[in-house]
C-alpha cells in the first residue's frame, strides 16, 4: 500500500505571547519556535506502521518554505521512504488553495497512491479542511477524525472515527481514499537527533508551488488579525507562592470540597 502523508511545520505558540504587527496585517512569529504539527506526527506514525505490516511505501509531503524540510527529515527518520517539499514562500491561509495545489501537484507529477493521510487539523490555523476538500476534488471517499484502522483489504478499509463524548462509529471505506487522522490513534515513536541526522542523507525532492497553478476557484480573504475579545476573565491571585496557594486552599474550603 502506497501512502502519501501530509506534514506541516507549525509555530508552537502554546506558551508564547503573540503580538499582532502593522495594524492587524500580520502576526509576529519571529521569536516563536516551530515544530511538527501534532496531528501529523500521529498520521506519519500510522502510515509507517501500516507499511511495516502490509508492505508499500510512505511518502511525506510538506507545503511551506525551505525550513519545512525539517518535518520531512523527521518523517523519514520515522520510516517514510521519500520526502517532497512543495515550496511556497507565501503562507496560504485558504485551505481550498492548498488542496487545489496538492491536486495539481499529484496530477502533474503523476504521484501514485492508494491512500492519502492528513492530520485532522493543524495547530496553527485549526482549519481542518485540506483533507476533506482534497477528497472531494479527487472524487474519493473521505473520512476524518480517524481514531483506529481495524482492517485493510485490497479494495477497502474498516476504520473507526471519533464522534462526541467517547462514542465512535465504525465505517467501511473504499480504497483509494483520503483519511484525516485524529491525535491519540497510536503512540508515535521517539525520534532521536541521530535518526534525523541519518535521515538528512536521504535526498528530499523540492518542487515549486508556482509550477502547479490552480484554476480560479472562489476563495476566502483575511481582512486583518485581532486579539480575542476579553470576557471579564478570572480574579488573579497574587503574591508569593505560599500566599497564592493558601488562598487557593481557602477557595476550596469555601466551596466545601476540602476541609
Partner 1 sequence: MSYALIVAEVRRGVFEERNLDSVGLAALLGKETVLFVPEGPYQIPEKIADTIVRAKTAEETFLNPLNLTKMLEQIFAGRGKPDYLIFTQSSSGMECAPYSAGFFGLPVITDVSAYDKDKGIFYKSYYSDKVFGEFKPAGGAAVVLTVRSGSFKECAAERSVAAKIEELSGIAETEGRVFIEYVEEEKSDIDITKADFLLSVGRGIGNKDEIPAYEDLANKLKAVLSGSRPVIDKMWLPKPRQVGTSGKTVKPKVYLAMGISGAFQHIAGMKDSDCIIAVNKDTEAPIFQYAHFGIIADIHKVRDKLKEIVNG
Ligand X SMILES: Cc1cc2nc3c(=O)[nH]c(=O)nc-3n(C[C@H](O)[C@H](O)[C@H](O)COP(=O)(O)OP(=O)(O)OC[C@H]3O[C@@H](n4cnc5c(N)ncnc54)[C@H](O)[C@@H]3O)c2cc1C
CB atoms under 10 Å from CB of 73, counted, come to: 23
Shortest separation between residue 117's beta carbon and ligand X, angstroms:
16
Shortest separation between residue 95's beta carbon and partner 1, angstroms:
7
The C-alpha cell 535526498 sits at 203
Residue (83 or 96) nearer to partner 1, CB: 96
CB atoms under 10 Å from CB of 188, counted, come to: 19
Question: Which residues between 223 and 242 bind partner 1 (CB under 8 A)?
Answer: 223-237, 241-242
Give me the count of residues in the chain: 259
Taking CA atoms, 232 is separated from 14, 19, 128, in Å, by 21, 21, 30
Burial 139-161 (b: 16+ CB within 10 A, else e): ebbbbbbbbbbeebeeeebebbb
Cβ–Cβ < 8 Å for 224, 25: yes
Cβ–Cβ < 8 Å for 57, 114: no
Shortest separation between residue 132's beta carbon and ligand X, angstroms:
13
Q: Does 41 bind ligand X (CB under 6 A)?
A: no
Q: Does 171 bind partner 1 (CB under 8 A)?
A: yes
Residue (140 or 202) nearer to partner 1, CB: 140
Residue selected from 15, 153, 187, 215 as contacting ligand X according to rule CB under 6 A: 15
Q: Does 18 bind partner 1 (CB under 8 A)?
A: yes
The C-alpha cell 483509494 sits at 176
Gap between the Cα atoms of 123 and 5, Å rounded: 17
Shortest separation between residue 227's beta carbon and ligand X, angstroms:
16
| Beta partners for residue 6, in sequence order | 61
165 contact choice in partner 1, ligand X, none (CB below 5 to 8 Å, kind-dependent): partner 1
Question: Which residues between 92 and 151 bind ligand X (CB under 6 A)?
Answer: 120-121, 145
Residue 171 three-state SS: strand
Only segment of 50-58, 69-77, 132-140, 199-207 that touches partner 1 (CB under 8 A): 132-140
Shortest separation between residue 248's beta carbon and partner 1, angstroms:
7
What number of chain residues touch partner 1 (CB under 8 A)? 95
Residue selected from 64, 79, 83, 95 as contacting partner 1 according to rule CB under 8 A: 95
Residue showing the smallest CB distance to ligand X in the complex: 14
Query: Which residues contact ligand X by CB under 6 A?
Result: 14-15, 120-121, 145
Amino acid at each position: 500500500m502506497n501512502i502519501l502523508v501530509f506534514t506541516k511545520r507549525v509555530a508552537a505558540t502554546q506558551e508564547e505571547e503573540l503580538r499582532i504587527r502593522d495594524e492587524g496585517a500580520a502576526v509576529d512569529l519571529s521569536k516563536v519556535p516551530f515544530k511538527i504539527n501534532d496531528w501529523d506526527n500521529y498520521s506519519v506514525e500510522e502510515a509507517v506502521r501500516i507499511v511495516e505490516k502490509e508492505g508499500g511505501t510512505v511518502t511525506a509531503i510538506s507545503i511551506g518554505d525551505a525550513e519545512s524540510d525539517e518535518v520531512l527529515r523527521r518523517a523519514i527518520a520515522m520510516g517514510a521512504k521519500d520526502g517532497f517539499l512543495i515550496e511556497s514562500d507565501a503562507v496560504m491561509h485558504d485551505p481550498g488553495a492548498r488542496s487545489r495545489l496538492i491536486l495539481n501537484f499529484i496530477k502533474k507529477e503523476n504521484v501514485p497512491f492508494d491512500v492519502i493521510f492528513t492530520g485532522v487539523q493543524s495547530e496553527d490555523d485549526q482549519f481542518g479542511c485540506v483533507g476533506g476538500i482534497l477528497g472531494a476534488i479527487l472524487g474519493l471517499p473521505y473520512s476524518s477524525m480517524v481514531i483506529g484502522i481495524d482492517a485493510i483489504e485490497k479494495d477497502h478499509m474498516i476504520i473507526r472515527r471519533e464522534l462526541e463524548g467517547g462514542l465512535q462509529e465504525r465505517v467501511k471505506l473504499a480504497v483509494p481514499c483520503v483519511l484525516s487522522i485524529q491525535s491519540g490513534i497510536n503512540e508515535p515513536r521517539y525520534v532521536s537527533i541521530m535518526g534525523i541526522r541519518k535521515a538528512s542523507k536521504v535526498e528530499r525532492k523540492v518542487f515549486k508551488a508556482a509550477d502547479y497553478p490552480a484554476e480560479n476557484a472562489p476563495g476566502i480573504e483575511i481582512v486583518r488579525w485581532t486579539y480575542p475579545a476579553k470576557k471579564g476573565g478570572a480574579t488573579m491571585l497574587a503574591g508569593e507562592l505560599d500566599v497564592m496557594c493558601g488562598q487557593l486552599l481557602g477557595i476550596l474550603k469555601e466551596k466545601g470540597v476540602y476541609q
